[in-house]
Amino acid sequence: MTIQKIAIAGCSGRMGRTLLEAVTQAPDMRLTAALDRTGSPYLNKDAGELIGTPCGIPIVSDFASALTDCDHLIDFTRPAGTLAHLSICRKIGVKMVIGTTGFSVEEKNQLEAAAKDIAIVFAPNMSVGVNVTFKLLEIAAKALNEGYDIEIIEAHHRHKVDAPSGTALRMGEVIAQTLQRDLSQVAVYGREGVTGERKPETIGFATIRAGDIVGDHTAMFAGIGERVEISHKASNRMTFAMGALRAARFLIDKPNGLFDMQDVLSLR
């Protein structure tokens, strides 16, 4: 068994801490770098202290030198951070697993360009359940392609900064693509005031931010006399972290290319 050398960006964040737990418990992985941004109060502390088990790896902020002895960087931070890390990984040939959400179209193009040189898995949701849900949405959209109004509802914790969630947007993309609609033309993000009647081809998004909700997503297909709801509810961030580890294993023999969890889970 070849041991994969893993670096974690944003290691003191919610996902960073969960990833620390997952990586330090994985028999085929070794944590070789734990990174936080400049100014983090955790710099120079043992990364394991964040999860109650010291591991001898200090938290540092100099990505370029910390990444020299790593195979993969797992990055769940913010678009600006991920893009800065991307350019270093591209330069020194470190593969990336990117879970960050909230990228603009232009920023996503930067990921695609970097994937010419390094292998990347980029997915708004790394859980197996959500990725199976995307397949269920294809089936539902194909069968309920007329006479059903489509709405996507998502709920997350009070600290989440982007909306709608990356997963909700991907759900919209999957449905729009199946129905040969252009999401940028048919998406409706929230409603207020005298909105007029619903246009049949629209795909609506509704966002809830409250408490400690880990991540709930529902796609509703509402017709006359019935409605179908396809839901996923995450109750623990470890489901995302385990998906990220699967993604890193998937990348071992990939020299370059941009992949998502549908590739990792052979769902395409």
Ligand X SMILES: NC(=O)C1=CN([C@@H]2O[C@H](COP(=O)(O)OP(=O)(O)OC[C@H]3O[C@@H](n4cnc5c(N)ncnc54)[C@H](OP(=O)(O)O)[C@@H]3O)[C@@H](O)[C@H]2O)C=CC1
Rounded least distance, CB 240 to ligand LZUJQKHR, Å: 6
Under a CB-based contact definition with an 8 Å cutoff, are residues 114 and 107 in contact?
no
Choose which of 6, 22, 73, 99 interacts with ligand X (CB under 6 A): 99
Q: Does 101 bind ligand X (CB under 6 A)?
A: yes
Q: Which C-beta is closer to ligand LZUJQKHR: that of 59 or that of 123?
A: 123
* Contact call for residues 2 and 70 (beta carbons, < 8 A): no
Build a one-symbol-per-residue string for 25-54: x at contacts with ligand X by CB under 6 A, - elsewhere.
-----------xx--x--------------
- What is the edge-to-edge ordering of all strands in the sheet holding 95-98? 59-60, 29-35, 4-9, 72-75, 95-98, 119-122, 257-259
- What residues act catalytically? 156, 160
Residue 26: both structure tokens together: 């994985």
240 lines the binding site for ligand X (CB under 6 A): yes
Q: Is 225 left (phi over 0), alpha (psi -120 to 50) or beta?
A: left
Check: CB of residue 111 under 8 Å from CB of residue 98. yes
144-183 footprint of ligand LZUJQKHR as x/- string (CB under 6 A): ------------x---x----xxx----------------
Q: Which residues bind ligand X (CB under 6 A)?
A: 10, 12-16, 36-37, 40, 76-78, 80-81, 99-102, 123-126, 166, 240
